[in-house]
Chains A and B, each alone.
Chain A
Amino acid sequence: MADIRNNFVGIKSPNPFWLASAPPTDKAYNVVRAFKAGWGGVVWKTLGEEGPPIVNVNGPRYGAIWGADRRLLGLNNIELITDRELQVNLQEIKQVKKEWPDRALVASIMVPCVEESWKAILPAVEETECDGIELNFGCPHGMSERGMGSAVGQVPEYIEMVVRWCKNYTRMPVIVKLTPNITDIRYPARAAKKGGADAVSLINTISSITSVNLDTFSPEPSIDGKGTHGGYCGPAVKPIALNMVAEIARDPETRGLPISGIGGVTTWRDAAEFLALGAGNVQVCTAAMTYGFKIVQEMIAGLENWMDEKGHRSLDDVIGRATPNVTDWQYLNLNYVAKAHINQDLCIKCGRCHIACEDTSHQAITAMVDGVRHFEVLEEECVGCNLCVNVCPVENCITMQPLPAGTLDKRTGKPVSPTYANWTMHPNNPMAKAAAE
């Protein structure tokens, strides 16, 4: 039986599924329910400075986009950090940690970008005996207008500076939560590392407007006729998060820096993908907010099952396994040739592959052969782009089949080369390095 116990920067949890800092972790009541349901850990809803509590809007905070049957695909929110008293939160954290010693409990913090503020809050948090802190440099709305959240996360120098303060004033592990609202995620990650961070977590939410009400012309969610950009999360953001995790995992300057993967994790499979790209564990928010805490049971069982089937004994067998396979475009093998192939027994003759290829690709799929509706790939036209595979409604009906070395590529009229050759060596590349004769 696979062992899915997790050790993230020394913080131990029975499984790698943590709840991300958000409404599901806002107070003891929710967190205790989460632990009862089986979550391995939580990052408490972000704490702010001592003083008058944060105020939230009193109207809708969420917007969403849906797929078929109103399956929630993307969620957007304009909520701020916790709106409860700091002392109440700290007491509850202390109490919960005491009652649930085997679960990870990390406190998320966001205070103004001045040393005094951090110096003031850190001992108070440490006193709760929680397992670590996460610096919220990600919130893209509201808090950023006040010089916090993503306003800090978008300036690598600030990140480095704040992380240094934190490492100075606490012994707890410091996880830096990154904002995706930046052009190159490697810079804030490098800054976090330079400042001495124990780990990074990502992604926080993505600035977004989910929709516009076409009757009132207000963005949604609408507060008295006006809207503002919110933070986007849920299944729709997973591909963006995966890439950012991979970028940090394979950057020579940050390689080895532990990563907590966040963004759209909804099933065990999503989690396994984050782990494979280099995340040490995952955090979940939207999936829990959509289905409740019970989903963790599917995640745990699914991950164990898959690991058993594949013979992975512990998370270490999985973490980072896909990282070496992420490379730059210029290093992809241009001598690799694949062609689409349609399994006629599975084909239901919807014609989507044909029209996609005909209208928008390479005119490589028939619609009619000898007067009969028939869909077949013309190898002499197929560039192997994979579009038809993606639009075909029948799983595995169209597959991409690599041509073995030596066979004739009917499109180019040339045999498939057995050797690896990429763009850096390609004759059409003016910058190509001369082939070593």
Chain B
Amino acid sequence: MNLVTFSGPPSSGKTAVILKTIEAIQQRGLNVGVVKFDCLYTDDDELYRKAGVPVKKGLSGSLCPDHYFVSNIEEVVQWGREKELDLLITESAGLCNRCSPYIKDIKAICVIDNLSGINTPKKIGPMLKTADIVVITKGDIVSQAEREVFASRVSTVNPDAMVMNVNGLTGQGAYEFSTLLFDENDHIDTVTGKKLRFSMPSAMCSYCLGETRIGEEHQLGNVRKIELGDE
């Protein structure tokens, strides 16, 4: 089985791109399944189910969805093997700009859209910086110049990534993208023992552990202070 992880800001077009890509992969007779990770709510699983794709979802609730991802990815891989998938795709809502669900030696895709503004590549951290392939969507609605500027910003933030344009609505570029996702020589039976590409933040403050009271005396653990002095 191949494993590919997708991440990217909300509404950037992850589900749309994955669906179009799956169409192309299924035409090659391959068996694809998806597991969607989100925080509080998602109906992406319905979209995948409608497309006839085996799907599971996991909601992290009060946890950072990426922390939740790492704690569950091994079970998810085993689910994929039981279903005899050739390709297992995970979709994570990139809600935490400090974390990313990418694992070393597992293909990592970041989906980001042209409408999100030219400073977004700078803002979203490891999710973009450590991806292997960056897919840029919604090129159909912005000007050529804006597409070029946006793509060059993406390349500055992640110079090693392959950068591709895929249209989530028409599927333009999805066939080409799909050829990069599956490699018949790749076999993932387990991810146990593998490592995250980027360590999740060392944050663990009293509020992470349920504290609700405000005030210096209640701030324990890893606490950072805002700088408000004159420059």
Answer whether A and B are interacting partners.
no
Interface residues of A (CB under 8 A from B): none
